[in-house]
Amino acid sequence: MGISFILLAGGEPLLRKDVLVAASKIKEVAFPVFTNGTV
């Protein structure tokens, strides 16, 4: 058993400039991001 996805939610995750870089390094794991759309 392994990790199939990591869900990032709450606040405004895209304020962190490294969040997409971190997500791109994990090719075999789905990485959905939920945003409140205010940025």
* Nearest CA-CA partner of 18 in 8, 30, 28, 10: 8
Whether 9 maps to a domain, the answer reads yes
Q: Could you tell me if residue 6 is inside a domain?
A: yes
Number of structural domains the chain divides into = 1
Output the pLDDT for position 9.
Answer: 77
Q: Rounded to 5 degrees, what are φ and ψ at 12?
A: -130, 90
Q: Is residue 37 part of a domain?
A: no
Q: What is the pLDDT of residues 3-36, one digit of tens each?
A: 888 887 777 877 888 888 888 888 888 888 787 7
**Cα(34)–Cα(9) distance, integer angstroms:** 5
- pTM given for the model: 0.48
Distance of CA 35 to the CA centre of its chain: 10
Tell me what pLDDT residue 8 has.
77
Q: Residue 1's pLDDT is what? A: 64
The secondary structure of residue 15, as a DSSP letter, is: G
In a domain, 36, yes or no: no
pLDDT at 38 exceeding the cut of 80: no
> Is residue 19 a part of any domain in this protein?
yes
